[in-house]
Amino acid sequence: MDMIKTVLITGANAGIGLEAARQLALHEGINKIYLGCRNLAKANDAKSKLVEATGRDIFEILILDASDSTSVRNAAAKLKSPIDAVVLNAGGTGGQTPHKLTDDGVTNIFASNVLGHVVLVEELIKRQLVTSTILYAGSETARGIPKMGVFKPELNSTSIDEFASIANGSKFGSNADPLDVYGTIKLAGTLWMASMSRQHPHLRFVTMSPGGTTGTNGMDDLPFLKKLFFKYIGGLFMPMIGMMHSVEKGAKRYLDGLFDPRFESGHFYASRTGSPTGPVVDQLTIDPLFGDTAAQDNARQAIQQFS
């Protein structure tokens, strides 16, 4: 995938997004990286750190809030020339009000993990502003990690209505634990990606989980005790038992997904059964749902109702 010279990363000012930008800047052939960030001050700080760390001043800030469709469309409108690849990295557990509905009628947690990226990709394709690869940050939670108490998402019918209920939160209710719904939301995003790969065969659509990664910001908005466990206690203990790896390894997976042609369009790659770390495998070998074209298309059609 040597044709990739320019890349846009959402959620680029911290964690895996920031590290992916650093690694990309050191990759041969890359000459421009757009940092998609919500906050200008944090974006400027990230840019300064990246220029210092890499010795390359190739970073351009693009103000983009993945949970706000208007912000996403405004960001796409500011791009003056095509980009080769997009890393849909923004996400997390939905802020302080994960189940509150946005103006589009989806929950905040769904907006930041899926809908904002759907709007971005649709805008880029419509404006002919993306030429090569769309990479979506998947998650092992989309197939379950029982060892970590994260069970396989339960889908009843994989109908358009069911995927719409995931988007607007009615499937879960307003008191659901964001961690319990996160995997189902990531599953919907993964199926959307697979459907898009058949809609747009001239582009690559690769879903790649960065794995269980220490030092990310995705857990910052959890209740205090859960944040304490996952971010701090878990960050020390989990790597010892192979349940988390470094942010460098997480970002390296993104680069592999972008540049290694063995990762096929329309497929979902993540760790093997039982763990969010270790070698990456095609998740179709774990769960046939990931290859179900009817479920993929239903997820896409349901999500597009909100975009």
Return the pLDDT at 242.
Answer: 53
Residue given tokens 């990606």 in the structure block: 193
Bridge partners (DSSP) of residue 213 are: 245
The tokens describing 284, both together, are 């179709």
Q: Determine phi and psi for 68, rounding to 5 degrees.
A: -130, 105
| Residue 118 structure tokens | 């759907």
What letter does residue 33 receive in the DSSP assignment?
Answer: E
In whole angstroms, what is the distance from residue 111 CA to residue 117 CA? Answer: 8
* Among the listed residues 219, 217, 288, the one whose alpha carbon sits nearest the alpha carbon of residue 247: 217
List the chain pLDDT tens, one digit each, 307 residues.
Answer: 558 999 999 999 999 999 999 999 999 899 999 999 999 999 999 999 999 999 999 999 999 999 999 999 999 999 999 999 999 999 988 888 999 999 999 999 999 999 999 999 999 999 999 999 999 999 999 999 877 778 899 999 999 999 999 999 999 988 888 888 999 999 999 999 999 999 999 999 999 999 987 655 555 555 565 555 555 555 544 544 456 788 999 999 999 999 999 999 999 999 988 778 889 999 999 999 999 999 999 999 999 999 9
C-alpha closest to that of 50 among 256, 277, 251, 258: 251
Q: What is the DSSP letter of 232?
A: I
Architecture of the domain defined by 6-304:
3-Layer(aba) Sandwich (3.40)
Q: Where are the domains of the chain?
A: 6-304
pLDDT at residue 240, rounded to an integer: 46
**How far apart are alpha carbons 303 and 188 in whole angstroms?**
9
Task: Tell me how far apart the alpha carbons of residues 241 and 252 are, in angstroms, rounded to a whole number.
Answer: 21
Q: Can you give the pLDDT at residue 174?
A: 85
> Where do the H-state alpha helices sit in the chain?
15-25, 40-54, 69-78, 108-110, 116-126, 160-167, 178-199, 224-227, 234-237, 247-259, 293-304
The Cα-based distances of 80 to 124, 133, 228 in angstroms read 11, 18, 43
pLDDT of res. 213: 75
pLDDT single digits (tens) 272-285 = 887 788 899 999 99
DSSP for 47-82, please give it.
HHHHHHHHS---EEEEE--TT-HHHHHHHHHH--S-
